[in-house]
């Protein structure tokens, strides 16, 4: 178990194989019986919805289920408003709760629903994808996209509890498993040391599964420490965005072809190479990161980088100050820094 201690909230992240059979009891350990809306997507629902509903009902909760279509398209205001209107029809009050059962899409969407309904009601995350287990279920960033802009509508709203059972990974597709591993490599490069050595020993997707619990604990342990120091991303938390400035732009421009973790993988390699070329990043680091990503089959390059549309998307990065981009670089493995750059300088930077 990892505990996240913030100025206005303390919550636990329970990580253990087999927890999917203890959901009712775990939820009851933090909430009195009440109404809950259980939000999931169609794919996760096929495997886990009935059992989760039955566990929650046995524990005394009254459950409304909301099953959204699979994929990034469900991170939309239309989905938020549909769910919120059904909660209102069902008489949900401020004392009731939202439970996310799914990957990062369901988690980001449910988090936003819970933070908006009646100006904020309690929220629990049950992470079922690797991305959710190593990253999105923790830290309280909630979001939906608006048209072509990624995560532009969102809040910080921390959960009351995070449940992570690596057994859920057994039904996850290899592509989604590998995608989530992109964020693991990110955390390992940011932290360095034994964590980076561990990702260096993973030579294929099977290695992700056999080391899943340790990879989850290390990634979430690292992220939780950063979030505890800077919950609202005023400063340090920006490092968790390594690879995302370019990554989010190509994820959106790919119109669903690139999954989030794949786009981040490409984003990390390109930003790292550019910083290596101008002497900010120590020589050899890009190839160490690239080796880890290629080992599991993650993509490391995209033609979308550098196009006019790409440059246009960079304007929406949430780390920007006015016209200035704040890019995350690694001066060495384990030593992230923020490097300001003007938008105008990016074409030259990309060709450095
Ligand atoms: N809030 C944050 O801090 C944060 C961090 C990282 C990523 N994100 C967001 O998360 C999203 C990506 O998350 P994702 O990769 O989990 O995508 P996702 O939620 O779309 O899940 C990927 C796919 O896996 C399926 N799935 C999930 N769990 C499963 C299981 N156990 N068995 C079978 N299928 C399963 C889903 O149905 C979906 O088809 C992006 O929108 C990204 O922006 C947010
Ligand atoms: O938790 C954070 O902080 C992160 O930046 C984690 C990222 O992996 C994640 O993709 C996050 O949703 C990106 O947020 P955004 O603020 O760049 O939209
Ligand atoms: Zn991410």
Instruction: Confirm whether residue 171 is marked as ligand binding.
Output: yes
- Residue 184 pLDDT exceeds 80: yes
Phi-psi region of 329 (alpha: psi -120 to 50; beta: other; left: phi over 0): beta
Using pLDDT thresholds of 50, 70 and 90, give the confidence band for residue 178: very high
For tokens 């009646």, the residue is 118
Mind listing the pLDDT tens digit for each residue in 204-218? 999 999 999 999 999
CA angle 196, 289, 212 (to 5 degrees): 50
Using pLDDT thresholds of 50, 70 and 90, give the confidence band for residue 160: very high
Alpha-carbon span 93 to 64, nearest angstrom: 13
Q: If you average pLDDT over residues 146-151, what whole number do you get?
A: 88
Mind listing the pLDDT tens digit for each residue in 109-144? 999 999 999 999 999 999 999 999 999 999 999 999
Q: Residue 102: which of 145, 41, 161, 157 has the closest Cα?
A: 41
Ligand nearest to the CA of 141: 1
Sorted by where each starts, the structural domains of the chain and their CATH numbers stand as: 2-171 (3.40.50.1970), 191-350 (1.20.1090.10)
- Residue 28 pLDDT exceeds 80: yes
Separation of CA 172 and ligand 2 centre (Å)? 22
**pLDDT value of residue 16:** 97
| Closest approach atom of ligand 1 to CA 72 | 41
**pLDDT value of residue 32:** 95
Mind listing the pLDDT tens digit for each residue in 58-115? 999 999 999 999 999 999 999 999 999 999 999 999 999 999 999 999 999 999 999 9
**pLDDT value of residue 273:** 98
pTM for the model stands at 0.97
Enumerate the active-site residues. Answer: 119, 141, 183, 223, 233, 237, 241, 244, 248, 260
Using pLDDT thresholds of 50, 70 and 90, give the confidence band for residue 148: confident
Mind listing the pLDDT tens digit for each residue in 4-21? 999 999 999 999 999 999
Around ligand 2, the residues with Cβ closer than 6 Å are 135, 139, 141, 143, 151, 183, 233, 237, 240-241, 244, 318
Alpha-carbon span 312 to 295, nearest angstrom: 32
- Residue 200 pLDDT exceeds 90: yes
ipTM, 2 decimals?
Answer: 0.99
Alpha-carbon span 66 to 79, nearest angstrom: 10
- Residue 193 pLDDT exceeds 90: yes
Tell me the three-class secondary structure of 133-148, residue by residue.
HHHHCCCCEEEEEECC
Of all helices (H) and strands (E), which one includes residue 214?
helix 212-229
């Amino acid at each position: 178990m990892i505990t996240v201690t913030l100025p206005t909230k303390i919550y636990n992240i329970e990580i253990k194989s087999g927890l999917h059979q203890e959901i009712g009891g775990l939820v009851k350990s933090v909430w009195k019986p009440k109404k809950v809306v259980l939000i999931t997507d169609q794919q996760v629902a096929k495997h886990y919805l009935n059992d989760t509903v039955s566990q929650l009902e046995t524990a005394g909760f009254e459950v409304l289920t909301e099953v959204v279509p699979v994929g990034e398209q469900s991170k939309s205001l239309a989905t938020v408003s549909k769910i919120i209107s059904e909660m209102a029809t069902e008489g949900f009050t401020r004392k009731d709760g939202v439970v996310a059962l799914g990957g990062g899409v369901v988690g980001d969407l449910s988090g936003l629903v819970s933070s908006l309904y009646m100006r904020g009601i309690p929220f629990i995350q049950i992470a079922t994808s690797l991305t959710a287990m190593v990253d999105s279920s923790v830290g309280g960033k909630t979001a939906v996209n608006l048209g072509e802009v990624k995560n532009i509508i969102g809040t910080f709203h921390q959960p009351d509890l995070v449940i992570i059972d690596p057994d859920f990974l057994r039904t996850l597709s290899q592509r989604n498993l590998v995608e989530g591993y992109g964020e693991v490599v990110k955390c390992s490069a940011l932290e360095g040391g034994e964590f980076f050595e561990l990702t260096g020993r993973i030579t294929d997707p099977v290695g992700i599964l056999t080391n899943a619990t340790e990879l989850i604990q290390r990634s979430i342990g690292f992220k939780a420490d950063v979030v505890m120091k800077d919950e609202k991303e005023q400063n340090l938390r920006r490092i968790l965005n390594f690879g995302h400035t370019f990554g989010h732009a190509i994820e959106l421009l790919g119109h669903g072809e690139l999954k989030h973790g794949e786009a981040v993988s490409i984003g990390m390699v390109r930003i790292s190479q550019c910083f290596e070329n101008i002497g900010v990043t120590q020589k050899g680091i890009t190839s160490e990161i690239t080796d880890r990503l290629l080992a599991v089959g993650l993509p490391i390059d995209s033609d979308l980088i550098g196009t006019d549309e790409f440059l246009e998307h960079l304007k929406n990065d949430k780390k920007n100050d006015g016209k200035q981009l704040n890019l995350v670089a690694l001066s060495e493995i384990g030593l992230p820094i923020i490097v300001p750059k003007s938008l105008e300088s990016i074409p030259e930077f990309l060709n450095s």
